[in-house]
Structures are given as C-alpha cells and as structure tokens.
Amino acid sequence: MKRTFAFFASALIACATLSPIMAKADVAEGRALYHGHAGFARGVEATNLHLPSEFTACAKCHGAFGEGGREGGVTAPALIWSALTTPRGEAPAFQAESQILDAVTKGVARGGAALGPTMPRYTLSDVEMSALLAYLKHVGRADDYPPGVDRQTIRLATMLPLSGDASAAGHAVLDGMTGAFDAANSNGGLYGRKLVLDAIDIEQDAQALAKDVTLRRPFAVVGGMWRLDAPISLELAKQRIAKIATLTPHKDALSLDAWDIDLLPPLDQQRNAIESALNNCEAPGPKWAIVSNLAIATQIGDQRWFASAAEAAEAAKVISSPGCVAYGLSDAAAVNAAMPVTWEKRLILPFPAPIFLVGREESSNPWYALGRAVARLVVELFARAGSRLNERSPLVALEQSFRVELEAGAPAYFDRARHYAWDPGIITISAGAPKIGRKQF
C-alpha cells in the first residue's frame, strides 16, 4: 500500500510541469529552512508576524513530511508538490512556481484570493526562495531522508575515549553497544533498516574531532562520553545532530527543546541522592560526602563535603563514633582503602544499582552494561519514532511518556519534562557484602 502510494506520488511529481523561475538551488538548504534547522536571513523580520525562529519553520504548521496539520483551529494544507500542483476542491492548482512563492511571501492563495492570517508572510532572499522551492519538490517523498538515513541504513556515531587513560572504559562501552546493535540488526533492523555505528575517538584535537563528525554526518551521536563544554558540543548543536543516551551527565536538567536525551541523571539529581543517602543513615557519628568527581559540593546541615577520600580519612582519625560516608564510583577504591571499616558506606551511582551488579557479573565493569543499555534505548526510541524519520523524530518519540526496561531491574522513564533515562542508584556497603538500597529516586 505504502509502496504504491510512493510510486504514485513520484509519478505525479514527474508529470507536474510548472514553469521554473530559478536555476539550480540547494535542496539541503531548503530542507534546513523548512524544518527550522537554519534560521531565515532576516531573523524575526522574516515574517510579518515577527515570529521567533522556532516558529518560522514551515514544518511547525505544515508537518515534518509536508502532510499538513492544524494550527490555531486553522488547517495548514499539505505542501507536497503533488498537492500544490493539483486543484483542491473549488480552488485551482498553482500554475507556476512564482505563484507558490507569492503564497509564501504575499499571502496570495490559489486563484488569487488572500490566504488567512495564520499563514505568515515571509520576506525571503533570492537564495532562500529558490532553496525552499527546490525542497518543496522533495518534502514527503520516499527519499526525503534526514542526513545519515537512507532506505537501507541509519548511520550513527559514538564518540568515546578509544585511546589514552580511559580507553578501557571506552572500548567496553563500544563492545556493549555493538553487541546490542548487532542483535537488533539480525532481528531485521528497524523497519528494514540496519543500524550502522561509527566509533570516533575523542582523544584527538578539537578541530580534527569536529571534522571527523562532520564528514560522517551521522543521524545522531549515541552513547558518547566527552566533556560537554568541549567545542564539539557547539558543532553538534550547529549541525542539529541529536545526542542520544549520552554517558556524560549534564549539570542540570535539560531544557525541553534541547537536542539531547541522556542516559544518566543530571548532576543535581546525584547531589540529591547523596543528601538523601546521608539523611537516611543511622550511624551515630558525622555524615560526610566525598565528591571529587562532582563539581557540585554544597554543605548542608551537619553534612560535610570533602574533595578526596584521603582528606576525609585524615579528618576521621579524630572522630570517636563511626559515621556515614557517601561517595561516587571514582572514589570507591580510595574510600575502601582509607576510611575506617566501622563507618557506613553509601555508594552513589549515576545509574540504577542492578547495572553495577550486572556489569560485575558479565564483564568485570559496568561500562559494558552501560553500552548495551545505550543501544537498547536507541533501538526503542527509533522503533517508537516510526519508519519515516526526521532529525527530531527520536526527541519527539521521547515526549510521549514511556517506560522501558533497559536491563533487568533498571527501568528508564521518559516524558516531556524528563530527558534522562535513569535515576541515581544507591548501594549500601556495611561490614559484609554490598546490598542494594531499596530506595532509588
């Protein structure tokens, strides 16, 4: 059914002969304007309504596939070429490309009347006009793919430390991802498309890294680990490349129009977890946190925050009754070595506790399990996004609240306001073996 329609639509496109008014134009540029990935040259002056750039995208009203939509109780008609070049009801077809441009710039409807006020009147440069026209001939067609996508493949990239000090973690994440993507591909892939993953080493200079990503132009960067304030982040934002299941936590919760979906909770959530773990601790002595990896130290009530395990161990020497200490993964070894065994220990994880234990059983570290969870999340999101993808499809899919079990005991939740998968996990370590804290936030 779909195939027939696509064939029919492209046959119509081939038949439609409007007098062309401009020479060769850049379809990609028109696509960027249509979808709002590039702003119009005149900024807020681009429309009579002085719309900010996020509302000037044609896709906002006419749909990501040119299928049309409803806006403020008004119907924005389909913009696919075959619709523009056929009569609609009583109204004649657009007779020339210049007439379509008149609709966009002057609000002249088919047949010469005025379009309703919901359709903005655009002031466009010549380049923008020809780019938009060129793209209107493509929108909604079977081959109107976003970058990185074609009929057979969805090309993804990951950016990991694959050389240098952290390379063991980087390779473990990559192995976990590759295994899960291979499994999805051997099950038929996603709507018949295979997922192809390019691994990019972050241990190279900023320019080389940006070039590496740009040349590959993936549909999305998945499961990467890189400093979020590094220049590559700007580059990805500029190119509107979605970042999915990133393994570097953000500082605060993400804004809703961000192009990011995190696997790990933001640092402020991890700080809340530390506070709450300490509040729930029954040891008679002081309550301390060691936060060398979290640039979030605050001092609350009788809690004391140390920058290193050594510092805390030194201070503990003069304390008579055992206390409680909370710390992250990167301090775990030092805490076990230096802090008195009589103290209660709370390991705060940026993922649910079962991931830590699964990781220990299957691969001696949690990175493999994290990589696998990344790939499972990507597959789940893309499956929800459907077979027709555009740049924001995975982000839109996330906004319909859902829950998915990425690993036994490690469910991920999403909704419009929540762009990260997991809450922090807490492992209580008393004298014996670690036991998983019941409460996860």
Cβ pair 355, 348 in contact under 8 A:
no
Residues with Cβ < 8 Å from 17, sequence gap 6 or more? none
Adjacent-strand bridge partners of 357: none
Residue numbers 85-104 binding ligand HEC by CB under 6 A:
88, 100, 103-104
Of 39 and 322, nearer to ligand HEC (C-beta) is 39
- Scanning 119-127, 235-243, 251-259, 352-360 for contacts with ligand HEC by CB under 6 A, the matching segment is 119-127
CB of 257 vs ligand HEC, minimal distance in Å? 16
Smallest gap, in angstroms, from Cβ of residue 390 to ligand HEC?
Answer: 15
Closest CA to 203 of 171, 176, 240: 171
Nearest CB to ligand HEC, comparing residues 104 and 339: 104
Is residue 79 at the binding interface for ligand HEC, with CB under 6 A as the rule?
yes
By the rule CB under 6 A, 122 interacts with ligand HEC? yes
Selected from 61, 273, 325, 381, the binder of ligand HEC by CB under 6 A is: 61
CB of 219 to ligand HEC, least distance (A): 24
The CB-of-64 to ligand HEC minimum distance in angstroms stands at: 13
**CA neighbor of 177 nearest in space, from 361, 373, 351, 350:** 373
Instruction: State the Cα angle at 209 between 207 and 212, rounded to 5°.
Output: 110
* Beta-strand runs (E) in 254-343: 260-262, 287-290, 303-306, 324-327
Nearer to ligand HEC, 66 or 189 (CB): 66
Reference 58, options 140, 178, 142; nearest CA is 140
Type of residue at 48: N
Task: Tell whether residue 77 is a contact of ligand HEC (CB under 6 A).
Answer: yes
Q: Cβ closer to ligand HEC: 100 or 397?
A: 100
119 in contact with ligand HEC (CB under 6 A)? yes
Q: Judged by CB under 6 A, does residue 71 bind ligand HEC? A: yes
Residue (59 or 412) nearer to ligand HEC, CB: 59
Options 6-14, 107-115, 252-260, 380-388: segment touching ligand HEC (CB under 6 A): 107-115
Smallest gap from Cβ 162 to ligand HEC, in A, equals 42
Tell me whether residue 212 is exposed, middle or buried, using C-beta atoms within 10 angstroms of its C-beta: 0 to 12, 13 to 18, 19 or more: middle
Question: Binders of ligand HEC among 21-60, rule CB under 6 A?
Answer: 56, 58, 60
Establish if 132 lies at the interface with ligand HEC (CB under 6 A). yes
Q: Between 112 and 192, whose beta carbon lies closer to ligand HEC? A: 112
Q: Which of 31, 35, 37, 110 binds ligand HEC (CB under 6 A)?
A: 110
- Other Cβ atoms less than 10 A from the Cβ of 322: the count is 17
| Pairwise CA distance, residues 158 & 376, whole Å | 14
The DSSP annotation for 191-250 comes to: TTBEEEEEEEES-S-HHHHHHHHHHH--SEEES----TTSHHHHHHHHTT-EEEEESSPP
Is there binding between residue 76 and ligand HEC (CB under 6 A)?
yes
At a CB cut-off of 8 Å and minimum separation 6, what does 429 contact? 344, 345, 346, 347
Q: How far is the CB of 14 from ligand HEC (least distance, A)?
A: 20
3-state secondary structure of 313: helix
Considering the complex, state which of residue 120 and residue 161 has its C-beta at the smaller distance from ligand HEC: 120
Q: Give the interface with ligand HEC as residue ranges (CB under 6 A).
A: 56, 58, 60-62, 71, 74, 76-77, 79, 84, 88, 100, 103-104, 109-110, 115-116, 118-120, 122, 132
